[in-house]
Structure 1
């Protein structure tokens, strides 16, 4: 699995979410919601100081994105593209085969 974060989304995580160079953005499945890859589960994220069970970590300069090993099932073999749409003030997720 690979994770791509656009420059707009990188800027948003740093400036609006306040993720520092020593923290990670950790993606994880949420029980409520929906997604194109898992029915009844949505993708959530949080900023954390450390990753307990490293599955995938991608770095974009001083922004570090992580998915723990136990959460990789959610992606069902898909890669993830994260973008930020300024007009809607929202983060978007695209799951790529």
Structure 2
């Protein structure tokens, strides 16, 4: 699984969450939501500088974005691309089947 984060999304994370170089963002599954890969579940995120078992991660502009092994099922063989929609002022998640 690959994780990619756009420059616009990086800027959003830093401004909205007050993140600094070396901080880590964990993506995780949460019940009672919606996503194109898992009905009834949504993708959540939190600042978590103490990962337990990183299954996938990427580092960009001093930040680390990751998914732990226990949440890998949520992606169902998809890669994650995180972007930011300025008009709606929200993050956008795109999922593409891993090759």
So what's the TM-score if we normalise by structure 1? Answer: 0.95
Report the equivalent of 1:20: 20
Is 1:54–2:54 an aligned residue pair? yes
Shift of 1:49: 1.6
Report the equivalent of 1:2: 2
Misfit runs of 4+, over 3 Å: none
Query: How do 1:1-97 residues align onto structure 2 when only pairs under 5 Å count?
Result: 1-97=1-97
Q: What CA deviation, in whole Å up to 9, does each residue of 1:70-93 have, x standing for no partner?
A: 100000000001001111110000
Q: How far apart, in 2, do the equivalents of 1:6 and 1:83 lie?
A: 5
Q: How far apart, in 1, do the equivalents of 2:8 and 2:75 lie?
A: 23
Q: How far apart, in 2, do the equivalents of 1:56 and 1:85 lie?
A: 24
Q: How far apart, in 2, do the equivalents of 1:20 and 1:71 lie?
A: 25
Query: Which of the pair is proportionally richer in strand?
Result: 2
So what's the TM-score if we normalise by structure 2? Answer: 0.93
**Contact 1:19/1:25 (<8 A) preserved:** no
Q: What CA deviation, in whole Å up to 9, does each residue of 1:40-76 have, x standing for no partner?
A: 0000000112111111110012011010011000000
